[in-house]
Amino acid sequence: MAPTIDSKVPPLHDLPTPEPESPMRSRKPYRFSTLCATVENPDQKDQYGSSSVPIYQSATFKGVGNAYDYSRSGNPTRSHLEHHIAKISSAAHAMTVSSGMAALDIILRLLKPGDEIIAGDDLYGGTNRLLTYIRAHVGVIVHHVDTTDPTSVLPFIHPTKTAMVLLESPTNPLLKIADIAAISKDVKERAPDAVIVVDNTMMSPYLQRPLEHGADIVYDSATKYLSGHHDLMAGVITCNRDDLKKQMAFTINSVGNALAPNDCFLLLRGTKTLALRMDRQQATSQLVATYLHGLGFRTHYPGLPDHPGREIHARIAAGNGAVLSFETGDKELSERVVGGARLWGISVSFGCVNSLISMPCVMSHASIDPATRAARGLPEDLIRLCVGIEDPVDLIDDLEHALIDAGAIKFDAQQNKYTRVVPSTNDALNRAVEKLGMDGPDEHEWFVSAPGKVILFGEHAVVHGATAVAASVDLRCYGLTSPRGDGTLSVHFADIDDFYHEWDIEALPWDAVTPLGAGEEHPEVLDQALIDAISAGPLGHIGEETKHAKTASLAFLYMYLMLSYARRPSFHFTARATLPVGAGLGSSASYSTCAASALLLVNRAIALPPPSAPTSTGSDVPHVHISHQGRRFIPPRTAEHVNRWAFVAEKILHGNPSGVDNSVAVFGGALAYTRAGFALGGKAGMEPIQGFKSLKFLLTNSMVPRDTKKLVAGVGALKDSEPDLVDGILKAIQEISIEARRALADPELSRTEVLSVLSALIDENHRHLVTLEVSHPTLETIRSTTAAAPYELSTKLTGAGGGGCAVTLVPDNFRDTALNDLMIALRGEKFVPYLTSVGGSGLGVLSPYAPPNLGPAHDNGVPGQVTPPQTPNMTPRASMGDPALRLAFEKQSGAQLAQWADRLGRWLYV
Ligand SMILES: Nc1ncnc2c1ncn2[C@@H]1O[C@H](COP(=O)(O)OP(=O)(O)O)[C@@H](O)[C@H]1O
Ligand SMILES: C[C@@](O)(CCOP(=O)(O)O)CC(=O)O
């Protein structure tokens, strides 16, 4: 067990020669551990010769014009510490602040709005969070790239705009290596003013000194190895450039986050043993990594012979550090291992003298959503070990006990040693199935669908903060992505003039995109510059005669450019609906939901969870169980993510949507929806409504085309010109929604009473909409036809009005013959009635866990039965990437579409 750093071998880089130089013979520079242990500052001799630096626990210093006046600006204990840190880092300057994140904050304040940063895509979560913040609040543009491949940085370097490059190596917890030297060189050649910043926390100045490899600024969370005892929080910044030091010192003094005297003392004490601790910790890490690797676990540690970045790391660093990670092959198994350890403490952070064990996906990285974790290749079963200074024999023994107790290893009598137990086929199969969602989307045909909606109460008023009562209808939009792989992106909107268009992906206006950081959400406001660039570029030559398809394309391309910035997949997207388009039934929201979910799936920004474990059915093929007929399979968090993007598309299509339509399209069911930030009373958000599903509605399409955007804008204009009138109506509509919900929830009311309350409210709500000037003569005709004897039903416009659809409540005891007659009467007036059920499922995705059943000509599955890949090693893509689905989808007749889609396989719903 030879330590990687041999104390007899001189360190990688020369350190200052001891002063004064002996006149007798020249002296060799002190080695690192000597420098660590020797805290001496010739400029700051202690008056009593104290061997330990005193703590100047004083906020102020008396006198004028002295070296110190106020501890925010300077403190003698801190000066000692900073001198010491600069010395052991071979740096001209060191500054110490209250945490590692505070250090990064100081560094990021070198930037100004419009500057661009290139950063890794596998950064520490806290770094990511701060970058997201400055992106939103400072207007700095952040490009996340895979820094393990230096060439991936090149396309993002701009000679003047690139202001900073932020690197970590090795990364935490996957121990990926970035070639700091090569990247620094490439950046300096192309953008000489860019500042290269390295987070060196995983290595400490003992093992890696990035300033010597081209970095301009290095920072460490000194909470970790530098202090070593998990008894303080601190951050250090080192650099050689005087100008950078001056700017950062100015910010530290201005904001007042310099390290407090007591913590300076503790950190100074900790650094004295840095080399000693690190030698022991990394020597044990090598043993532990070799042990796990030998058992057959996939182990990540740069000291292992098969580590992909090993050579680069060896060139830049002088040791492999004391953090490693390994995979057991099964998340639950990993949880058992972690739970079974005694000596290894379950905790976040690292660098302490005590050994720690954790599962990043459950702990330190749990704030990153599972899809993003998966997209970054962070295995859910990963266990991270942070090795301390305990006896290596005890540490390995404790780990071995935990592995045995968890069932991860067992004794093999033949080989006379412990060997890894490969998780059962079921576990492995689950993982293979899980991977399918993440690994193969480019080659997979994703088929999604989302319902339209009917608003029973509150349309228009919901835009201005009132609550709307709405439910999904059984008419849906369907969206299908099919791989192309030819550098082209294409769309086909079958319902809008059969519009087909394709674009060369590289020719899209990528320059106009401000990519979102990992895990970052789209801002509230659309990026108008991007909309302008798309409208002038890829859509510039599309005429106004196809303006509806043009807007649908705009929404699609906008989301593609934002979501596909890093991957740029080439595929085709077809949208088709059984819903009437532009008739007030939320076709735009169901289209937006399909486009958003399809783009998120293709770009791996969302993933479907694996189905529960397959069980043996006695046949050779195990069957995956999906409960609830596929309902509630898509988790709420994923649904919310889709909903946010569907809302982005709705904003492009509608200008100022309330969000009710897309929320119903995604979540399905019946909802009371109140827009955030506008609420007239009560709280914003959405609540499911019970008692809605059994209601029967007749929808009648007036066949008068209208434009939601214009109608919503018209009500907005009326609100501006006649605020009292409109405010009164908004309040009245809010009361109607409250009353309707109360009636639906009231156990004292009989069914007949509920229906009669709702009918009265329908009439009342319609009258208010007439005052808001959004009715239409045809809607009034539908109202009078349905209200006339013998029908006597209540009807109101639904959606934006101005034409489009009307909704009529049909009581339970309304006879079928009467309904039939009414529909004939409406058809006679050239209207199109639909009987619809409400409250069905929201967003659905055709299960990717079985090939679609395309009928006898494609004998590849049994409808309704989910058949997982037969062995974990099978590449499911092979059976999935068949664009046959596209051909079949496009040729279905409108009348057959819903049934055909249903029979394709198992649909997984929100
Ligand atoms: N199936 C579809 N395919 C493509 N775009 C669609 C589809 N359905 C709706 N859209 C888009 O939404 C617009 C209709 O929005 P809107 O006027 O609000 O009607 P609705 O009341 O049905 O939501 C269309 O002009 C088109 O841009
Ligand atoms: C008028 C409004 O309340 C509903 C619009 O529905 P539709 O687009 O007409 O289906 C607008 C909105 O809520 O965004």
**Atom number of ligand 2 nearest to Cα 659:** 14
- Name which residue sits closest to atom 14 of ligand 2, judged by CA: 657
Tokens representing residue 485 in the block: 């792989």
**Atom number of ligand 2 nearest to Cα 650:** 14
Q: How far is the CA of 77 from the centre of ligand 1 (A)?
A: 67
Let me know if residue 659 belongs to a domain.
no
Tokens representing residue 59 in the block: 């906020």
Give the model's pLDDT for residue 40: 83
Task: Assess whether 258 and 326 both reside in one domain.
Answer: no
Instruction: Please give the share of the chain, as a percent, with pLDDT higher than 90.
Output: 70
Residue 81, pLDDT above cutoff 90: yes
Q: Within 10 A of 763 (CB to CB), how many other CB atoms are there?
A: 13
Q: How far is the CA of 56 from the centre of ligand 1 (A)?
A: 69
Band (pLDDT 50/70/90 cuts) for residue 656 is: very high
Q: For the residues 644-662, what does the mean pLDDT come to? A: 96
Alpha-carbon distances of 79 from 41, 92, 248, 256, 304, rounded to whole Å? 9, 14, 16, 15, 40
Give the model's pLDDT for residue 424: 65
Sign of CA dihedral 257, 258, 262, 263: positive
Asked if residue 611 lies in contact with residue 850, where contact means CB atoms within 8 angstroms, the answer is: no
Cα–Cα dist 145/645, whole Å: 23
Residue 619, pLDDT above cutoff 80: no
> What range defines the domain where residue 238 resides?
32-272
Let me know if residue 23 belongs to a domain.
no
Task: Assess whether 513 and 556 both reside in one domain.
Answer: yes
- Name which residue sits closest to atom 11 of ligand 1, judged by CA: 588
Choose which residue among 475, 559, 588, 648 to substitute to test ligand 1 binding: the one with the highest number of ligand atoms within 8 A of its C-beta.
Answer: 588
Give the model's pLDDT for residue 856: 59
Let me know if residue 296 belongs to a domain.
yes
Choose which residue among 453, 473, 656, 658 to substitute to test ligand 2 binding: the one with the highest number of ligand atoms within 8 A of its C-beta.
Answer: 658
Q: Which-ligand-closest: CA of 589?
A: 1
Asked if residue 452 lies in contact with residue 585, where contact means CB atoms within 8 angstroms, the answer is: yes
Let me know if residue 663 belongs to a domain.
no
Cα–Cα dist 664/590, whole Å: 9
User: Cβ(303) to ligand 2 under 6 A?
Assistant: no
Q: For the residues 216-226, what does the mean pLDDT come to? A: 98
Give the model's pLDDT for residue 514: 87
Three-state SS at 277? helix
Residue 25, pLDDT above cutoff 80: no
Task: Assess whether 188 and 63 both reside in one domain.
Answer: yes
Active site positions, annotated: 72, 124, 199, 224
User: Cβ(495) to ligand 1 under 6 A?
Assistant: yes
Task: Assess whether 442 and 403 both reside in one domain.
Answer: no
Measured in Å, how far apart are the chain's first and last C-alpha atoms?
54
User: Cβ(552) to ligand 1 under 6 A?
Assistant: yes
What DSSP letter does each residue of 708-768 carry, written as one string?
HHHHHHHHHHHHHHSHHHHHHHHHHHHHHHHHHHHHHH-TTS-HHHHHHHHHHHHHHHHHH
Q: How far is the CA of 588 from the centre of ligand 1 (A)?
A: 4
Band (pLDDT 50/70/90 cuts) for residue 347 is: confident
**Atom number of ligand 2 nearest to Cα 452:** 10
Tokens representing residue 797 in the block: 């416009």
Q: For the residues 378-395, what does the mean pLDDT come to? A: 95
Please indicate whether residue 5 or residue 497 has the higher confidence score (pLDDT).
Answer: 497
Band (pLDDT 50/70/90 cuts) for residue 20 is: low
Give the model's pLDDT for residue 734: 94
User: Cβ(594) to ligand 1 under 6 A?
Assistant: no
Task: Assess whether 798 and 848 both reside in one domain.
Answer: no
Q: CA angle, 738 as apex, 734 and 742 as ends, to 5°?
A: 170
Cα–Cα dist 759/793, whole Å: 8
Task: Assess whether 315 and 238 both reside in one domain.
Answer: no
pLDDT tens track for 536-583: 999 999 998 999 999 999 999 999 999 998 789 999 999 999 999 999
Q: Which-ligand-closest: CA of 661?
A: 2
Give the model's pLDDT for residue 870: 31
User: Cβ(211) to ligand 2 under 6 A?
Assistant: no
Give the model's pLDDT for residue 765: 97
Q: For the chain, how many structural domains are there in total?
A: 4
Task: Assess whether 866 and 848 both reside in one domain.
Answer: yes
Choose which residue among 454, 457, 462, 730 to substitute to test ligand 2 binding: the one with the highest number of ligand atoms within 8 A of its C-beta.
Answer: 462
For residue 291, the Cα-to-chain-centroid distance in whole angstroms is: 35
Q: Which-ligand-closest: CA of 801?
A: 2
Q: How far is the CA of 321 from the centre of ligand 2 (A)?
A: 58
Task: Assess whether 250 and 292 both reside in one domain.
Answer: no
Query: Do β-strands 488-493 and 571-577 pair in parallel, antiparallel, or remain unpaired?
Result: parallel
Please indicate whether residue 253 or residue 615 has the higher confidence score (pLDDT).
Answer: 253
User: Cβ(592) to ligand 2 under 6 A?
Assistant: no
Q: How far is the CA of 591 from the centre of ligand 1 (A)?
A: 7
Q: What does residue 688 show for φ and ψ, rounded to 5 degrees?
A: -65, 145
Cα–Cα dist 210/179, whole Å: 10
Q: For the residues 591-614, what does the mean pLDDT come to? A: 85
**Atom number of ligand 1 nearest to Cα 477:** 1
Domain endpoint, select from 836, 861, 878: 836
Q: Within 10 A of 565 (CB to CB), how many other CB atoms are there?
A: 16
Residue 531, pLDDT above cutoff 90: yes
**Burial classification of residue 502, based on how many CB atoms lie within 10 Å of its CB (0-12 exposed, 13-18 middle, 19 or more buried):** middle
Q: For the residues 204-211, what does the mean pLDDT come to? A: 98
Three-state SS at 421? coil
Q: For the residues 509-521, what does the mean pLDDT come to? A: 82
Q: How far is the CA of 471 from the centre of ligand 2 (A)?
A: 13
Task: Assess whether 612 and 641 both reside in one domain.
Answer: yes
- Residue keyed to tokens 């394309």: 553
Q: How far is the CA of 587 from the centre of ligand 1 (A)?
A: 5
Let me know if residue 685 belongs to a domain.
no
Q: CA angle, 362 as apex, 360 and 363 as ends, to 5°?
A: 60
Domain endpoint, select from 240, 272, 304: 272
User: Cβ(802) to ligand 1 under 6 A?
Assistant: no
Residue 240, pLDDT above cutoff 50: yes
Task: Assess whether 304 and 194 both reside in one domain.
Answer: no
Which residues, in sequence order, are bridge partners of residue 383? Answer: 326
Please indicate whether residue 674 or residue 17 has the higher confidence score (pLDDT).
Answer: 674
Band (pLDDT 50/70/90 cuts) for residue 866 is: very low
- Name which residue sits closest to atom 19 of ligand 1, judged by CA: 582
Please indicate whether residue 443 or residue 524 has the higher confidence score (pLDDT).
Answer: 524
Band (pLDDT 50/70/90 cuts) for residue 45 is: confident
Which residues, in sequence order, are bridge partners of residue 696? Answer: 810
| Cis preceding-peptide flag for 509 (omega within 30 of 0) | no
User: Cβ(551) to ligand 1 under 6 A?
Assistant: yes
Band (pLDDT 50/70/90 cuts) for residue 13 is: very low
Pick the closest to residue 492 from 897, 896, 890, 892 (CA basis).
Answer: 890
User: Cβ(708) to ligand 1 under 6 A?
Assistant: yes
Please indicate whether residue 476 or residue 613 has the higher confidence score (pLDDT).
Answer: 476
CATH code where residue 190 lies: 3.40.640.10
Three-state SS at 551? helix
Residue 853, pLDDT above cutoff 50: yes
Band (pLDDT 50/70/90 cuts) for residue 44 is: confident
Q: Which-ligand-closest: CA of 478?
A: 1
User: Cβ(650) to ligand 2 under 6 A?
Assistant: no
User: Cβ(493) to ligand 1 under 6 A?
Assistant: yes
pLDDT tens track for 417-448: 888 998 864 554 444 444 444 444 457 899 99
Residue 871, pLDDT above cutoff 50: no
User: Cβ(588) to ligand 2 under 6 A?
Assistant: yes
Long-range CB pairs of 409-418, under 8 A, 24+ apart, other chains included: 409/295, 418/295
User: Cβ(587) to ligand 1 under 6 A?
Assistant: yes
Q: Within 10 A of 193 (CB to CB), how many other CB atoms are there?
A: 10
- Max alpha carbon distance in the chain (Å)? 120
What DSSP letter does each residue of 193-227 carry, written as one string?
TPEEEEE-TTTHHHHB-GGGGT-SEEEEETTTTTT
Pick the closest to residue 613 from 404, 406, 866 (CA basis).
Answer: 866
Share the mean pLDDT of the chain: 88
Choose which residue among 456, 457, 463, 477 to substitute to test ligand 2 binding: the one with the highest number of ligand atoms within 8 A of its C-beta.
Answer: 463
Q: Which-ligand-closest: CA of 581?
A: 1
CATH code where residue 613 lies: 3.30.230.10
Cα–Cα dist 224/448, whole Å: 47
- Name which residue sits closest to atom 13 of ligand 2, judged by CA: 658
Let me know if residue 683 belongs to a domain.
no
Q: CA angle, 538 as apex, 532 and 540 as ends, to 5°?
A: 65
Please indicate whether residue 874 or residue 773 has the higher confidence score (pLDDT).
Answer: 773
Q: For the residues 800-815, what does the mean pLDDT come to? A: 95
User: Cβ(94) to ligand 1 under 6 A?
Assistant: no
Q: How far is the CA of 845 from the centre of ligand 1 (A)?
A: 20
Long-range CB pairs of 425-428, under 8 A, 24+ apart, other chains included: 425/622, 425/872, 426/613, 426/614, 426/615, 426/622, 427/329, 427/330, 427/332, 427/333, 427/613, 428/329, 428/330, 428/872
Q: For the residues 658-665, what does the mean pLDDT come to? A: 98
Asked if residue 139 lies in contact with residue 273, where contact means CB atoms within 8 angstroms, the answer is: no
Q: How far is the CA of 836 from the centre of ligand 2 (A)?
A: 19
**Atom number of ligand 1 nearest to Cα 550:** 27
Query: Do β-strands 356-358 and 345-346 pair in parallel, antiparallel, or remain unpaired?
Result: parallel
Alpha-carbon distances of 237 from 14, 41, 274, 553, rounded to whole Å? 20, 19, 17, 48
Give the model's pLDDT for residue 17: 55
Please indicate whether residue 615 or residue 320 has the higher confidence score (pLDDT).
Answer: 320
Task: Assess whether 120 and 257 both reside in one domain.
Answer: yes
Domain endpoint, select from 811, 836, 861: 836
User: Cβ(800) to ligand 2 under 6 A?
Assistant: yes
pLDDT tens track for 160-198: 999 999 999 999 899 999 999 999 999 999 999 999 999
Cα–Cα dist 874/868, whole Å: 10
**Burial classification of residue 541, based on how many CB atoms lie within 10 Å of its CB (0-12 exposed, 13-18 middle, 19 or more buried):** exposed
Q: Which-ligand-closest: CA of 453?
A: 2
Task: Assess whether 193 and 182 both reside in one domain.
Answer: yes
Let me know if residue 8 belongs to a domain.
no
Helix or strand holding residue 272 (H, E) = helix 261-272
Cα–Cα dist 74/48, whole Å: 21
Choose which residue among 460, 654, 708, 776 to substitute to test ligand 2 binding: the one with the highest number of ligand atoms within 8 A of its C-beta.
Answer: 708
Asked if residue 433 lies in contact with residue 611, where contact means CB atoms within 8 angstroms, the answer is: yes
585: which residues sit within 8 A by CB, 6+ positions away? 452, 453, 454, 473, 475, 579, 699, 798, 799, 804, 805
Residue 373, pLDDT above cutoff 80: no
Helix axes 816-828, 777-787, angle to 10 degrees: 150
Asked if residue 556 lies in contact with residue 594, where contact means CB atoms within 8 angstroms, the answer is: no
Band (pLDDT 50/70/90 cuts) for residue 748 is: confident
Let me know if residue 677 belongs to a domain.
no
Q: Which-ligand-closest: CA of 552?
A: 1
For residue 244, the Cα-to-chain-centroid distance in whole angstroms is: 33
Q: How far is the CA of 801 from the centre of ligand 1 (A)?
A: 14
